[in-house]
Chains A and B, each alone.
Chain A
């Protein structure tokens, strides 16, 4: 994705984190482990207080027919779920004691 994904205007404060609008769990997880804790923390601190608003915004539209900006916002919310573990629990980007083991999504919903 070379262009920054569009996100709904009401969520302009999330523009710096638009790079988290990634369609798959695998991409979101890869971005998480490639990030510093500071980066994860600032993404979390910005979106977490607005999560309920974000969900309410997306839920104005049917899930199977989301406009692009709402879809991007949903992916960013999914990324917050991915990032909540290092921020709320691990204090590091990787799962502790997980070493080299990997666990890859091979099938997931389209949206």
Chain B
């Protein structure tokens, strides 16, 4: 109690205390600025070194760019279809041959592509469902507030981390080796990755769920499973659904390229046309893939919005 007036008194009496404060402040500021400058220099240095190294390692030299960039445009020119207005909508002639310059000619393999696109979508749906099921089951032990014990928490966390840590295409490579070329490898790879990615998100949703309903179910004598099913699931289901739909959109993209390593879907065809031909077929497949992805996105978005609308009456 006594030191307050004393402090006030000394400051007023001597009069040099404010001066001291200002000079101290100035000194601190100078030090801070100096240390900041050092930091900035260091950062800039590290950045420059990283940039130099990166350019050197990846051969990103002006002459290579000057040489390569025109070729990119040349390449894009070669994949444009040679369409003619007057023949654009010509069908097939008597021998069943398409007329060059018509869309029919450009899309000679249309139905093959459509079949592969459908397979791609089926793969995405199956993988999303399988992955979401795994994610659902593991998201409860992987939520810090719900885990029945430390072991279950640790194992489910690590397992989910592993599943989402390994890139899909790498998993697909392994599955293609183990079970052969075909969509099953792709489905399994995407499903595993989905399980990991969704599992983490689901667990986060669970951790944010209110624990009052859970306590209510505990108090009526509910087991752990009943606490989850009655106390947590009704709260988190709408979020789970939205996340799963978003993941589905991502998975459609994934399953359209997973065929690069032979794991089914349109990817194999995409890989084939890009690697072996540089003509209008490349663009034909690319357009279809973009269309599919866009349409699926629109549908999925619509479903999500409708679902959310219904949830809120």
A complexed with B: no
